Structure 1
Amino acid sequence: MDALSDVLALLKIRSYLYGGFAAGGDWCLSFGPHLGSLKFYTVATGACWLAVEGVAEPLWVQAGDCLLLPSGRAFRAGTDLALPAVDVFSLVPGGATGGTTVYQGGGDILILGGFFTLAAEQATWLLDVLPPVVHIQAAADKAVLRWTLEQLRQEVTVPRPGGLVLSQQLAGLLLVQVLRLHMTAGGTGWLGALADARLQAALTALHARPGQRWTVQALAQQAGMSRTGFAVHFRQQVGQAPLTYLAHWRMQLAKERLTSSTASLTELSQALGYESESAFSTAFKRIIGYSPRHYHQRLAVTAPAA
């Protein structure tokens, strides 16, 4: 499995499509904070402004553009941001899912939107490497998304049996496509590094065999680079030294397996490349802040009742 697929599988991403929003005339809507989820929007027809809290300048978004809002910040959207903002939830009572909400007669703009939920314990692995707004607007990039967006538009505007499930699947496909496009356009952290063929080779090998006793030299060989050149380039692109990245990835896997498997700490330690349970526990506590046993106990306490 490649590194991007590996991370997305660990995050257990689930898509929930709210539906469509059609508006006519001048309008301005406000959206409150959305902590713990990754919102997405795409403009099917028309155009409007988007102003995200903490982002200096509003963005002009138009037909075919896609937006990811991973930071959870409040935002406003509309044709005229100087207008008094209407709370979006006053138009969609209870956050109803599916169908299209029509405002002021519709006809000028159609926006499709929804959100993705992530596995809470691992969410920062993706959210921390994304900017407050990912805006896909280049013509070539929109061409890549065109088929998915058209299918999504049809499912939202012409309800049919199975449409909600299909829309959620299409939204998941859209997320992967947008992350790929952002990655190749200069994304940061490990996501941006995947656009570099040499670093991608090293990251793919590391993710494929996280329990291997990797050294910087061995990873450099995967990348076809000198040890020093690889170490410097990896740190510049990813923001961490190669073995630091490996240690943090192992701990993400450890948290997942402590949650979902019955493996003993000794078995888990060996699977992740540690010589002993003690060495694994020390690394886990240093990175996560708890011992593996304490972490597992916290999960048992906070787990929802059946």
Structure 2
Amino acid sequence: MRVQADPLDDVLALVGTTSSLSAGLIAGGEWAVAFEPPPAVKFNAVRRGRCLLRADGQEFELQAGDCFLLTRPIAFTLASGPDVTPEPAGPLFRAAGEDGIAQAGRGDDVVLIGGRFGFGERAQELLLDALPPVVHVPGASTAAAAVRWALEQIDTEMRDRPPASSLLTEHLALVMLIHLLRLHLAAAPPAGGWLAGLADPVVGSALRAIHGKPAYAWTVADLAAVAAVSRSTLAARFKRVVGQGPLDYLTQWRIELASARLRHGDHTLAAIAREVGYSSESALSTAFKRVTGTSPRAYRAARVA
């Protein structure tokens, strides 16, 4: 059975990924700006020049075309060099004009654009915890061409402000996020978890099959056939890479899908059970409580409250 899907696409859709381009920074000479921990996933891209990023006890030399994501609420500093005393970002951005572009130092040697990605309540566990606190993606490589293209389009939209530019830049930012994640996962895949599984040719095939048809009554034999390996090979490799067996992962993903329907819809439990692969409401309730520690009804009631 060849049923394939994109687990990363599924997870980004499930956690309700949104984006906003919120600010820009022009800087020159000797300068440094200290930023408070952002409340959401923060990104910045260097459009011109170079600068130093200090975050999470690390330093990164950023060149034109480089991007970075902060996947945790950590303070960070952008600077022309290591020995400049930083000034707080708040007053600079409050003094910015209607375009939201702040000025640091003297001149315009360096230009950055920045924004935030918003996620739903399950994003931390499903996605962000598998990423390092700082994701730095160099823009000079051939593989980063799609990121450069997205940034160029964002630049054009922000500069010319044609009709619907805000909506288009938000979609372009999401395109950029997906490419940033792809590049990071290709360069430095996590040591474990479903994201690590995507980088494994055998486990990745089984993951895509599960996501392609989560309600199907998969067996380890079915998934092994998709991956073109033996049952024992798939079971051992899946457990080693992802940290749980393939059928345990299937159950976990079904419960994630059911949880999303409970949070965002008025589907009956019986309908949700059928949609995610359970033969009855009671079967769903049993699996749901085993995974989450609460019943579907209690989970829905708590979210409504």
Pick from 31, 50, 53 the counterpart of residue 50 of structure 1.
Answer: 53
CA deviations over 1:63-90 (Å, ceiling 9, x no partner): 1111111122221221234433222121
Pairs aligned (count) = 298
Q: Is the 8 A contact 1:198 1:223 kept in 2?
A: yes
Q: Does 1:145 find its partner at 2:147? A: yes
Report the Cα offset of residue 17 of structure 1. Answer: 0.3
Worse-matched range after superposition: 11-20 or 162-171: 162-171
Task: Measure, in 2, the Cα distance between the counterparts of 1:48 and 1:236.
Answer: 40
Worse-matched range after superposition: 207-216 or 279-288: 279-288
Q: Which amino acid aligns with 1:7?
A: V
Q: Could you say which residue in structure 2 is the equivalent of 1:304?
A: none
CA deviations over 1:111-164 (Å, ceiling 9, x no partner): 111011011244431112111111111522333322111112223344444332
**RMSD value over aligned CA atoms?**
2.2
Q: Could you say which residue in structure 1 is the equivalent of 2:157?
A: 155
Q: Does 1:234 find its partner at 2:238? A: yes
Q: Could you say which residue in structure 2 is the equivalent of 1:11?
A: 15
Q: Which amino acid aligns with 2:175?
A: L
Partner SS state of residue 92, structure 1: helix
Identity value in percent = 39
Give the alignment of 1:67-86 within 5 angstroms: 67-86=68-87
Divergent runs of 4+, >6 A: 94-97
Q: Could you say which residue in structure 2 is the equivalent of 1:212?
A: 216
Report the Cα offset of residue 106 of structure 1. Answer: 3.4
Give the alignment of 1:1-306 within 5 angstroms: 1-35=5-39, 37-53=40-56, 55=57, 57-93=58-94, 98-137=99-138, 139-188=141-190, 189-301=193-305
Distance 1:98 1:298, change over 3 A: farther
Report the Cα offset of residue 99 of structure 1. Answer: 4.5
Task: Measure, in 1, the Cα distance between the counterparts of 2:180 and 2:76.
Answer: 20
CA deviations over 1:24-72 (Å, ceiling 9, x no partner): 111221222224x22111111111111212x4x3111111111111122
Q: Is the 8 A contact 1:19 1:156 kept in 2?
A: no
CA deviations over 1:188-244 (Å, ceiling 9, x no partner): 232232233332321121012111222222211111111121122222322332222
Partner SS state of residue 102, structure 1: strand
Q: Which amino acid aligns with 1:89?
A: G
Q: Which amino acid aligns with 1:249?
A: W
Task: Measure, in 2, the Cα distance between the counterparts of 1:299 and 1:75.
Answer: 34
Q: Is the 8 A contact 2:93 2:100 kept in 1?
A: no
Partner SS state of residue 72, structure 1: coil
Q: Which amino acid aligns with 2:157?
A: E
Task: Measure, in 2, the Cα distance between the counterparts of 1:256 and 1:64.
Answer: 36
CA deviations over 1:243-293 (Å, ceiling 9, x no partner): 222222112111111122322222222332234433322322232232111
Q: Which amino acid aligns with 1:24?
A: G
Task: Measure, in 1, the Cα distance between the counterparts of 2:38 and 2:28.
Answer: 26
With normalisation by structure 1, the TM-score equals 0.89
